[in-house]
A = this chain, B = another copy of it.
Amino acid sequence: MRCAEGIEVRDLDECYINIDPIQVGGRLTVDAMKAVIAYGDGYSVCDHCRKPFRLDHIKTPPIDRFHRELAAFIGMEEARVVPGARRGFSAVTGTYVGKGDPVLLTTLSHYTEVLAVESVGGVIREIPAELGHNITADAAAMTIESVLREFGRAPSLLMIDHIDYQYGNVHDVQGVARVAHQYDIPVLYNGAYSVGILPVDGRDLGVDFVVGSGHKSMAAPAPSGVLATSKERSTELFRTTTAKTDLSLRTFGIKEVMLLGCTLMGVTLIGMMASFPAVRERVGHWDEEIANGRRVVEALQRIEGTKVVSELPRKHTLTRIDTSGSFDRVAKTHKKRGFFLSSALKELGIAGTIPGATKVWKFNTYGMTSRQAEYTANAFLAIAEENKIPVSS
């Protein structure tokens, strides 16, 4: 069935248990869906935009209040919405990173952080992950020292992913931030896999900037996200325009330079807002999510030859798995080759894996009910047994 010319209706999340690594935290709530329908049109949230003409000052719908609540939710002073986490990174690198400036990322940093640094001509140095794929304060300290020797100055910025996209491991943000601050290095916290699905308190973590993704973890349409900071840094990051044009002598009020004025003027923002009460509530159930994730991981561990590459026990629902010694062996002789796995899963009502992937791959159990987790765990076991892979009890 098509919803428009050439566009098939999307019903993946209606018809399947979705375990796609990036999609599960961004599915809309029912309220968001309703709001999206009501606010689909372009500049739909601007009906009541009055002086000083800035998105976060609009009172109807209550965008101003949402901004305050959003900042409080993640333990920061000032928050703005942005078109995706990457635009948050970019606003920060655009403010703090000059051409040739060293910037610390980690060996597990997301590619969008790399691009945000590259776009302003910064030089990337990585903090190495320790054995077990964890970023530690010690490794951060050593890398800062090494940058000092190489560049004769401290990095302009340090960016750290609380949960990395590769392993879904939890990293010591607090420890890393403490070390960075000893060198006066501002710290950006990438919460793409945390803000909106687990409790995050930027003040407690001691970071200068918190970035979250609406479409990845806040049950919001794409592109959306949040960029928040402290009172002190907000005057730098959210600086208002000082431009005065030379002939018309125009000035532009309190528009913020690095945000390029208003950011999400319609459906994306209203989706974030409508989901927010549910999002604020759901972070309190993170332990249940972890339990569901572990249930699936434990089933996979029972399949002979399967290795969990992520840290154990699992502390996040995103998990990297190596099935070279199990499902990939089957793929070698199966008539569907590597496609047998995604195909078998799909037949059992489970979607979101990359077709053909049977070696190292990822899945995310976020948002499942415990029954769905049990069903998914059993599905993996059934596929193993059907293909004669030994399963331990």
> Which residues of A come within 8 Å of B, CB atoms?
3-13, 20, 22-23, 25-28, 31-44, 46-47, 50, 60-62, 65, 83-84, 86-87, 89-90, 94, 105, 107-109, 111-112, 114-120, 124-126, 128, 214-216, 219-223, 241-243, 245-248, 250, 252, 255, 257-258, 260-261, 263-268, 270-271, 273-274, 277, 354
Contact = CB atoms under 8 A, between A and B. Distances in A.
B221 A268 contact: yes
A116 B42 contact: no
B61 A43 contact: no
A196 B43 CA distance: 15
8 contacts: A26-B42, A36-B40, A83-B84, A109-B245, A114-B245, A215-B265, A215-B266, A222-B268
Given A26-B42, A32-B40, 20 more contacts: A4-B32, A4-B35, A6-B65, A8-B61, A10-B38, A23-B41, A23-B46, A26-B43, A33-B37, A42-B220, A83-B87, A107-B247, A114-B243, A115-B243, A115-B252, A222-B266, A223-B223, A223-B263, A223-B266, A267-B271
Given A36-B36, A42-B23, A223-B265, A273 B7 contact: yes
Contacts of A109: 245
Nearest to A222: B266
Given A222-B265, A246-B125, A246-B126, A111 B252 contact: yes
A112 B242 CA distance: 13
Contact of A223 (B22, B246, B268): B268
Contacts of A36: 36-37, 40, 267
Nearest to A83: B83
A109 B119 CA distance: 25
Given A4-B274, A8-B61, A119-B260, A222 B43 contact: yes
Contacts of A65: 6
Nearest to A82: B83
Contacts of A120: 94
Contacts of A12: 47
A222 B42 contact: yes
A94 B118 CA distance: 11
